[in-house]
Amino acid sequence: MLVPILKQGDYLIASVQSELSDEDLLKLRDELVKRVGELRSRGVIIDVTALYVMDSFATRTLRAIAHMIRLRGAETIIVGIQPEVAFTMVQLGLKLEGVMTALDLEEGLAYLQTLHTSKRR
């Protein structure tokens, strides 16, 4: 399953629309890291609203994506984690350490805009 990646100004938005296999997650990682450089993006939002399961591999991969993108000079925000998913992640000890999260796409975009506005000053 391919994840659509849209360019919105200086940002990329990857909208996960269904459950992803491990291979799909790795393809998403590679494509996002590549596009950040090609498009000189300043931020990436990964919308996981459609995910109702987040296992340890998915959590590790999302965390790795965020760290790789930061090394490329952009910030990553993961948005849309469902309440049940958040509950399960906490129960299983799965963490997105060092990764910004937001309630939804709107909040994620607002955070990136605030972040980049404050960096310009």
Q: Give the tens place of pLDDT for each residue, 55-112.
A: 999 999 999 999 999 999 999 999 999 999 999 999 999 999 989 999 999 999 999 9
Q: Is 44 exposed, middle or buried (0-12, 13-18, 19+ CB in 10 A)?
A: buried
What residue ranges define each of the domains in the chain, with the CATH number in brackets? Answer: 5-120 (3.30.750.24)
pLDDT value of residue 2: 84
Cβ count within 10 A of residue 104: 14
pLDDT, tens digit, 9 for 90 and up, residues 16-63: 999 999 999 999 999 999 999 999 999 999 999 999 989 999 999 999
Instruction: Give the distance, in angstroms, between the CA of residue 63 and the centroid of all CA atoms in the same chain.
Output: 8
Record the pTM: 0.93
Q: Is the pLDDT of residue 1 over 60?
A: no
